[in-house]
Chain A
């Protein structure tokens, strides 16, 4: 699968998780999207979203990598990195 297509697929999966946690079916995610854009993304939602992503992809993030995320692209990089290492 080409890199950008794989990114799109993963992005869609993460988008569905975020829509579910934030209870908003209209949310559109781009690679540049940042958590700060979403008003409902508070510290509780943050944990639910991260756990949702971990469960969906069958991975466990390390604490320090989660602290470095700024946008969706960085989240995608982490997910891919974990999947490749597995």
Chain B
């Protein structure tokens, strides 16, 4: 994936061609200004990402009339995403026209927003709301003193933006598209275009809309499970200045003074990404011992060896090395980012592996960090505590693979590592992790339904469902929660497997046998006679196409059925804890 920035004219053309195939995303766009140009940009971005966007555009100024009417065209459209696009100019008009005390404006606005959110989620539960926040607009009525009084518009606007953030933290289905940060990036002049505002009703300038549409689709694709998970790093002139060779570490530039600072700043950001769950890998053309030395003992290095999940340094070509890294991590190339200062290496990798993201780093290293942040590569739809351990988990996996290489048979190896699993219905602490598993699992995922934490909470408390989560560990470490099952209790003594998701890190261990054994046991205990499953094919889950068949289910119409009574426990090297 190479093109991350488009112009409006490009998007207009892409929108016209549109992808003929590809999954459909249903979007509703509500605005208090002219939204046709944003719609064009959205269609263009959808097409660029291989999606078909079905966009319902309500007429201008119909936000509330669409939201609060359960029979409105908005709900008839059955959107997956509802975009609420309110402009800062309309907000300012409302502020100026209001009879009420200016000090209470933000609070009154937030009451209105909460009512909108509640209505949308009650008439269309399961959709996501993408609410645009407000680029800052300062009328300078008080000059800088506007910061010292709650009566100023700038004060109330900032309070609204902050309150939107607080609201989003309590409501999973609400996602803020941060236009305010975008204006910081692109500047007021790109956002505020009075000529088009007055003549065409456009709230924000035409140069701004492609960026807005990009960020909307960054959110959409993250919700749909396409988060980036890994950064592969070159070393020379990417993580430090200069070239590291046998001459020693003293020759590279790092540190808080001079050219080295740019690299330390980049490393600091990468380290924070790692701490929030992104995996870092190194892929360098160098001798391994030489390449590792700065990570082990250079005083100014921010990244240390334990921050790197997979460290590859040799004289092979980078394409092969990156394929090797992908095999170890077992994540899609489309969830990887490759950073290299060398355009030749970048081009080679980008051509050989089209799915990987290869940012075209500017030639001056002092510009790297800002450039990378602007690309907004790491959008997520949720974060959970399990993210923090990810690097450690991959390092443990590397250790397992080394041991694996010593065994002749897969079975002998699996028996030797003492795998243990414990399982329970979804507990409150598990909810975010289960939601995240549903959003990120693409391969071992039978029906690929995506759930938010709130969805999982509802299901966990529902009388119409059983839930089970599984944690796995072995002699090399703990995997954490790696399987989630959601079972729907059907009237005819049937349990329907509404969701079965397994982390890609624990494939090929026979865990599905263990899970099925427990599932049948649960069915027996509650008097169910049949277990019913469904496989919904996607581009990424061919792995489980025959799963039900292999597990002994019988296919009929679109579904798979297992008789509880006739079931024989499947063998497994995993012990229950």
Which of A21, A23, A47, A67 interacts with B196 by CB under 8 Å? A47
**Interface pair B9/A47, CB less than 8 Å apart:** no
**Which B residues from 199 to 220 make CB contacts under 8 A with A?**
199-200, 202, 206
Residue of B nearest to A23 (CB): B16
Contact with B along A56-83 (1 / 0, CB 8 A): 0000111100110000000000000000
Nearest Cβ distance between residue B219 and chain A, in whole angstroms?
Answer: 25
What are some 27 contacts across the A-B interface (CB < 8 A)? A20-B9, A21-B9, A21-B12, A23-B16, A43-B200, A44-B36, A44-B37, A44-B40, A46-B200, A47-B37, A47-B196, A47-B200, A47-B202, A47-B206, A48-B8, A48-B9, A48-B12, A51-B206, A52-B9, A60-B195, A61-B195, A62-B195, A63-B195, A63-B198, A63-B199, A66-B199, A67-B199
Question: Which residues of A are found within 8 Å of B16, using beta-carbon distances?
Answer: 23
Question: Which residues of B are found within 8 Å of A62, using beta-carbon distances?
Answer: 195
Question: Which residues of A are found within 8 Å of B198, using beta-carbon distances?
Answer: 63
Question: Which residues of B are found within 8 Å of A47, using beta-carbon distances?
Answer: 37, 196, 200, 202, 206
Question: Which residues of B are found within 8 Å of A67, using beta-carbon distances?
Answer: 199
**Which A residues from 32 to 49 make CB contacts under 8 A with B?**
43-44, 46-48
Q: Which residues of A contact B (CB under 8 A)?
A: 20-21, 23, 43-44, 46-48, 51-52, 60-63, 66-67
Nearest Cβ distance between residue B39 and chain A, in whole angstroms?
Answer: 9
**Interface size for chain B: under 10, 10 to 19, 20 to 34, or 35 or more residues?**
10 to 19
CA A44 to CA B39, docked complex, whole Å:
11
A43-B200, A60-B195 given; 9 more Cβ-contact pairs under 8 Å: A44-B40, A48-B9, A48-B12, A51-B206, A52-B9, A61-B195, A62-B195, A63-B195, A63-B198
CA A62 to CA B198, docked complex, whole Å:
12
CA A20 to CA B9, docked complex, whole Å:
9
Contact with A along B179-211 (1 / 0, CB 8 A): 000000000000000011011101000100000
**Which B residues from 1 to 51 make CB contacts under 8 A with A?**
8-9, 12, 16, 36-37, 40
Nearest Cβ distance between residue B35 and chain A, in whole angstroms?
Answer: 11
CA A48 to CA B202, docked complex, whole Å:
13
Nearest Cβ distance between residue B139 and chain A, in whole angstroms?
Answer: 21
CA A62 to CA B37, docked complex, whole Å:
21
CA A21 to CA B15, docked complex, whole Å:
13
Looking at chain A's contact residues, the main secondary structure is helix
Question: Which residues of B are found within 8 Å of A44, using beta-carbon distances?
Answer: 36-37, 40
Residue of A nearest to B196 (CB): A47
Question: Which residues of A are found within 8 Å of B196, using beta-carbon distances?
Answer: 47
Residue of B nearest to A54 (CB): B195
Nearest Cβ distance between residue A66 and chain B, in whole angstroms?
Answer: 7
Residue of B nearest to A20 (CB): B9
CA A78 to CA B161, docked complex, whole Å:
42
Nearest Cβ distance between residue B577 and chain A, in whole angstroms?
Answer: 62
Q: When A and B form their complex, which 8 residue pairs have the shortest distance between CB atoms, in order from nearest?
A: A63-B195, A47-B200, A44-B36, A51-B206, A63-B199, A63-B198, A47-B196, A23-B16
Residue among A21, A23, A51, A62 with most chain B CB within 10 A: A51
CA A23 to CA B12, docked complex, whole Å:
10
CA A43 to CA B60, docked complex, whole Å:
15
Question: Which residues of B are found within 8 Å of A61, using beta-carbon distances?
Answer: 195
Nearest Cβ distance between residue B32 and chain A, in whole angstroms?
Answer: 18
Nearest Cβ distance between residue B266 and chain A, in whole angstroms?
Answer: 34
Residue of A nearest to B39 (CB): A44
**Which B residues from 118 to 154 make CB contacts under 8 A with A?**
none
Nearest Cβ distance between residue A68 and chain B, in whole angstroms?
Answer: 13
Residue of B nearest to A46 (CB): B200
Question: Which residues of A are found within 8 Å of B206, using beta-carbon distances?
Answer: 47, 51
CA A66 to CA B198, docked complex, whole Å:
12
Question: Which residues of B are found within 8 Å of A43, using beta-carbon distances?
Answer: 200
Residue among B16, B37, B195 with most chain A CB within 10 A: B195
Nearest Cβ distance between residue B11 and chain A, in whole angstroms?
Answer: 11
Residue of B nearest to A17 (CB): B9
**Which B residues from 410 to 466 make CB contacts under 8 A with A?**
none
Nearest Cβ distance between residue A78 and chain B, in whole angstroms?
Answer: 13
CA A17 to CA B132, docked complex, whole Å:
32
CA A23 to CA B9, docked complex, whole Å:
11
CA A60 to CA B200, docked complex, whole Å:
16
Nearest Cβ distance between residue B540 and chain A, in whole angstroms?
Answer: 35
CA A63 to CA B37, docked complex, whole Å:
19
Nearest Cβ distance between residue A35 and chain B, in whole angstroms?
Answer: 14
CA A20 to CA B196, docked complex, whole Å:
21
Question: Which residues of B are found within 8 Å of A66, using beta-carbon distances?
Answer: 199
